[in-house]
Chains A and B, each alone.
Chain A
Amino acid sequence: MSDYNFAYLDEQTKRMIRRAILKGLAVPGYQVPFASREMPMPYGWGTGGVQVSAAVLVPEDVMKVIDQGADDTTNAVSIRKFFEKTAGVATTEHTRDADVIQTRHRIPEEPLREDQILVYQVPIPEPLRFLEPRETETRKMHALEEYGLMHVKLYEDISRHGAISTAYAYPVKVEGRYVMDPSPIPKFDNPKLEMAAVQLFGAGREQRIYALPPYTQVVSLDFEDFPFEASKADHACDLCGCNTSYLDEVIMDDAGGRMFVCSDTDFCRERRAAGHVGAQGAPYEEDAA
């Protein structure tokens, strides 16, 4: 495709985005406004992540795209195709072979390395948004480190339900300063936010970029007597037998039959290839599906 620049965006736009990324890395957890462009896919469908990926990709990179942990969900397929077409980069489904991983709603199970970049698609970057709808107000609250409202919300959850009723997009505090929305990952993934790889968050419609440099301290908000708990379904994967991975529940029939499978499809496939078999799994065959 010669009509468009490498990775679709023109170099001026990429430079603008890279500046925002660098600022985000310099002030971890701070939401940097950037002049988000209209992309050829709809707002809310990963335009922020796509712009960030486009700004960091180089031709030698290998890219992986996941949605809900899976490489073959429709929107992941669509975004992967977009970069194959506009950047001509190699793509992979293997977490460990990827230089840049764009994700929606999950962090891969396999720990990432220092030479990898994880790009998140973010719908609502503002962790305080559902407590205060005005951007003018929430920016002030961040500037003044005024996070009392968030603690009150968590406290009210506990007093009303006996537990904090946030299961995904669970708010975190970065290096003791900014409260940050980790994007709608399940809270199971929150402890993984302290990692070796660079993490970049792009919110296209809301025109914000933020970032976590490697090994940044990321603490999920909680109370001493109600400590944060990274929960998952109390099962093992029915395909690979893994006890520690995040699971999707699949409805099998209309009589309440269900099974649990790893949401990270690459992780599950690798385990099956290594000989692990779950309760309902069959021995692994290459390209069995």
Chain B
Amino acid sequence: MYVAVKGGEKAIDAAHAWLAERRRGAKEVPELSIAQIREQMTLAVNRVMAEGSLFDPDLAALAIKQARGDLIEAVFLIRAYRTTLPRFGYTLLVETAKMDCIRRISATFKDAPGGQVLGPTFDYTHRLLDFKLAAEGSLPDAPKAEPHIGPVPHITEFLNKEDLIQQEPANDKEPRDLTREPLDLPADRALRLQSLTRGDEGFVLGMAYSTQRGYGRNHAFVGELRIGTCAVEMEIPELGFAIEIGEVELTECETVNQFTGSKTEPPQFTRGYGLVFGQTERKAISMALVDRALRWKELGEENVGAPAQDEEFVLYHADNIQATGFLEHIKLPHYVDFQSELELVRKMRAEAMGTMQEAAE
């Protein structure tokens, strides 16, 4: 006598209990605190904030802890949380020209007002495992210098003054909101940038890399990369003026791209733009390259059929929460569909075998 499989509910509860135990790991090892993750796994926290579209280091750290370090799972937790939050309004534009920079480099000019600041970067470290870190020890303080006081203007502005770089026309149109409206194509640049800044780092990196290797090639210089904090201001209706409600850490990248000119545009440099929450420079640079590749139409360039030029391809596949959900859903039972295919294949095989036999006879 066959008894149909039951007990899905019990199995789910047991699986969750086991998961909780595995998440904690060996109990004799001290538990990670949210503060430890926030302070010592900062770049993971930044990635979760960027792709989760929510600037809150503590919540991101909590999500990482809950997700056992699976960053896409952590991004998912943040996204599912943020979508339930009420929307009070919109802040004023964030002025990245007034950023308090901890890092600011340009690959196009040796020096510029505001100076080059390497900041806390892995660049130029030798990637040798530091076994001292395996032992807990105290760390000597890093040397300190006087901070630069004064404005740190955007480097592309210098090219702008000479008309050597394409002008970005000001646009007061309210941008569409990717999280409140269905994606509708063609997308304007604001919508593309929204999608890219929360897109999967690996996907955006791969797309950007493909442009460097010739799939829609447009050689990019990092005109400027800056990382730092910016004030966030909001107009409060009751007050009638804007006040600072907090600050966010941002990475901004402007690329300067060669451009020989087209039927509609004289020879000049063009730009790609990346802006991402937190210290996330690989993502910001990637974003700028993909942004530039997607601008082929407005610049009158040729569409060479490269994936990174294809807005629909890029925007529909950049979101790792959509991608991972759909990819992993093939774990769900599909036996009804499979059964119908099974019958069809059996039937078609039987017919084909019959025909073959007839032919042999």
A and B: partners?
yes
Chain A residues engaging chain B, CB cutoff 8 angstroms: 4, 8, 10, 33-40, 42-45, 47, 67-70, 72-78, 81, 104-106, 123, 134-136, 161-163, 165, 167-169, 184-188, 205, 207-208, 231-233, 238-239, 246-250, 252, 259, 261, 263, 265, 280-282, 288-289
Apart from the given pairs A43-B322, A72-B4, A104-B332, 7 other A-B contacts in the complex at a CB distance below 8 Å? A42-B325, A45-B332, A75-B333, A207-B183, A233-B339, A263-B335, A282-B1
Contact B6 A188 (CB under 8 A): no
> Residue on A with the closest CB to B76?
A42
Contact B8 A35 (CB under 8 A): no
Contact A38 B182 (CB under 8 A): no
Contact A106 B4 (CB under 8 A): no
B90 located at the interface, meaning its Cβ lies under 8 Å from any Cβ of chain A in the complex? no
A81 CA to B10 CA in the complex, in Å?
A: 12
A43 CA to B323 CA in the complex, in Å?
A: 8
Nearest Cβ in chain A — how far from B337, in angstroms?
4
CB contacts (< 8 Å) of B1 on chain A: these are 280-282
Contact A34 B182 (CB under 8 A): yes
B240 located at the interface, meaning its Cβ lies under 8 Å from any Cβ of chain A in the complex? no
CB contacts (< 8 Å) of A134 on chain B: these are 312
User: Could you give 21 example pairs across A and B, Cβ below 8 Å?
Assistant: A8-B84, A37-B83, A38-B80, A42-B76, A42-B324, A43-B322, A44-B329, A45-B328, A68-B336, A72-B6, A78-B12, A105-B334, A136-B185, A161-B348, A162-B352, A168-B340, A184-B334, A231-B347, A233-B339, A263-B336, A281-B1
A42 CA to B331 CA in the complex, in Å?
A: 12
Q: Identify which of A42, A169, A239 gathers the most chain B CB atoms within 10 Å of its CB.
A: A42
Partner of A232, one of B82, B335, B343, B351: B343
Chain B 43-87 interface 0/1 with A at a Cβ cutoff of 8 Å (1 = within): 000000000000000000000000000000000100110111010
Nearest Cβ in chain A — how far from B141, in angstroms?
42
Contact B9 A35 (CB under 8 A): no
Nearest Cβ in chain A — how far from B3, in angstroms?
5
A69 CA to B333 CA in the complex, in Å?
A: 11
CB contacts (< 8 Å) of A184 on chain B: these are 334, 336-337
Partner of B341, one of A70, A168, A188, A246: A168
Lowest 10 A-B CB distances belong to which pairs?
A43-B325, A44-B329, A42-B325, A167-B340, A44-B326, A33-B182, A186-B340, A207-B182, A44-B325, A38-B79
Nearest Cβ in chain B — how far from A2, in angstroms?
13
Nearest Cβ in chain B — how far from A166, in angstroms?
8
Contact A35 B340 (CB under 8 A): no
Nearest Cβ in chain A — how far from B321, in angstroms?
6
Q: Which secondary structure dominates where chain A touches chain B?
A: loop
Q: Identify which of B6, B337, B340 gathers the most chain A CB atoms within 10 Å of its CB.
A: B340
> Residue on A with the closest CB to B328?
A42
Contact B339 A249 (CB under 8 A): yes
> Residue on A with the closest CB to B78?
A38
A184 CA to B337 CA in the complex, in Å?
A: 7
A40 CA to B63 CA in the complex, in Å?
A: 13
B2 located at the interface, meaning its Cβ lies under 8 Å from any Cβ of chain A in the complex? yes
- Quick one: given A33-B184, A35-B181, are A205 and B326 in contact (CB under 8 Å)? yes
B120 located at the interface, meaning its Cβ lies under 8 Å from any Cβ of chain A in the complex? no
CB contacts (< 8 Å) of A106 on chain B: these are 336
A43 CA to B182 CA in the complex, in Å?
A: 15
Nearest Cβ in chain A — how far from B322, in angstroms?
5
Q: Which of B151-207 contact A (CB under 8 A)?
A: 179-186
A69 CA to B181 CA in the complex, in Å?
A: 33
A259 CA to B3 CA in the complex, in Å?
A: 11
> Residue on A with the closest CB to B311?
A136
CB contacts (< 8 Å) of A78 on chain B: these are 12
Q: Which of B307-326 contact A (CB under 8 A)?
A: 312, 316, 321-322, 324-326
Contact A74 B12 (CB under 8 A): yes
Contact B336 A252 (CB under 8 A): no
Nearest Cβ in chain B — how far from A39, in angstroms?
7
Contact A135 B84 (CB under 8 A): no
B327 located at the interface, meaning its Cβ lies under 8 Å from any Cβ of chain A in the complex? yes
A78 CA to B10 CA in the complex, in Å?
A: 11
- Quick one: given A136-B312, A162-B351, A265-B4, are A77 and B339 in contact (CB under 8 Å)? no
